[in-house]
Structure 1
Amino acid sequence: MSDMADPTWLDRRELTAWKQFLSAGAVINRLVDQQLKQDAGLSHPQFEVLARLADSPDGRLRMTELAGAALTSKSGLTYQVGQLEKAGFVAREGCPSDERGIVAALTERGREKLREAAVGHAALVRELFVDGMSRKEFGALAEGMDALHRNMKNRSG
């Protein structure tokens, strides 16, 4: 860890890139959230929960696993799963291997909602995130994001 008395400041290019990253992320998240609400009546975090459940082998994940991958806080995740459960898209079940654990399970209705939302979502992500760059630029971004992801995984244990 660096000494707080002698910080390593960001240079102009680093600071500009950081600000652009934050700005692009905020705009993309806002536009994706608007699109999902308009097309499917889902928030972006709700869509992510459904997508992560659909990606799991049996459509089930422990809430702790879901929280580790979620785009929201633990309390936010609990709220979102509760909303999805009320809508019939997710069911909460006891965990067979841990009596204190809770499992979120994707329902068939949830799979249908995800399919409904996915077409517009994919089109908007392509428009906002992929198509604005050349293949070479996107390749460099993808490599950089892989490096950031690895760094974040190492920091989170």
Structure 2
Amino acid sequence: MEGQNEPRWLSPDESDAWLALSWLMFRLPGAFDAQLQRDNGISFFEYLVLAGLSMSPGRRLRMSELAQFVNGSLSRLSNVVKRLEQRGWVFREPSAENGRFVEAVLTDTGWAMVVEAAPGHVEAVRRYVFDALRPEQVAELRDIGRQVARQVAPDHGWPPSAPRNVVAD
């Protein structure tokens, strides 16, 4: 059959949207990383690990679930958690529910770092993302992000809805 192996080329609108998204995928994490490094001496990935733990019940999470939350491999997460342990912000221990699993636990010192870093990070998120959007676009962005996430990782049901009052204890 003729044309069966023909690529499904992007339309001009799709190409423009893809280029804009591609640019964001590379530039936005760098902007967040620069802000967090400058203000708190931590990377964006380290902040995501600490924030993920801060939002979890008991400020603890299985390493495998935390890796999914931060969208990183277990080996990368393990290396980062090791650095965070050296700073006294996190420790690891076997899960009380199932000792075959290891959980990362946020310490009080780690919690204090999240509390310190969160306002500047949230301001950067607001400045780079939400200040550029109309209110109705925020819901559209959420829906589009979730739809694309389901296409990329249909088995994960990710990303989750964000908990409210993350920094409030």
Scaled by the length of structure 1, the TM-score of the pair is 0.89
Displacement of 1:106 in angstroms is 0.4
By percentage of residues, which structure has more helix? 1
Q: CA deviation at 1:155?
A: 5.0
Q: Is the 8 A contact 1:89 1:107 kept in 2?
A: yes
Alpha-carbon shift at residue 61 of structure 1 (Å) = 0.5
Query: What is residue 151 of structure 1 aligned with on the other side?
Result: 151
TM-score (normalised: structure 2): 0.83
**Size of the alignment, in residue pairs?**
154
Q: Indicate whether 1:72 and 2:72 are aligned.
A: yes
Give 1:59 deviation, angstroms.
0.5
**In the TM superposition, what whole-angstrom CA distance separates every residue of 1:99-149 from its partner, at most 9, and x where no partner exists?**
332110000000000010001000010000100122233332222223223
Q: Give the 5 Å matches for 1:1-157.
A: 5-156=5-156
Identity score, percent? 33
Q: SS state of the match for residue 99, structure 2?
A: strand
Q: Structure 2 unaligned segments of length 5 or more: list them.
A: 158-169
Distance 1:11 1:114 in 2: 43
Distance in 2 of aligned mates of 1:94 and 1:137: 43
Give the aligned CA root-mean-square deviation in angstroms: 1.9
CA distance in 2, matches of 1:118, 1:145: 22
- CA distance in 2: counterparts of 1:147 and 1:32, whole angstroms: 24
User: Residue 138 of structure 1 aligns to which amino acid in structure 2?
Assistant: V
Contact (CA 8 Å) 1:48, 1:71: kept in 2 or not? no
Shift of residue 26 of structure 1? Answer: 1.7
> Which stretch shows the higher mean deviation, 45-54 or 5-14?
5-14
Q: Over residues 63-92 of structure 1, what are the superposed CA-to-partner deviations in whole Å (9 max), with x where a residue is unaligned?
A: 011112223222111111111111000011
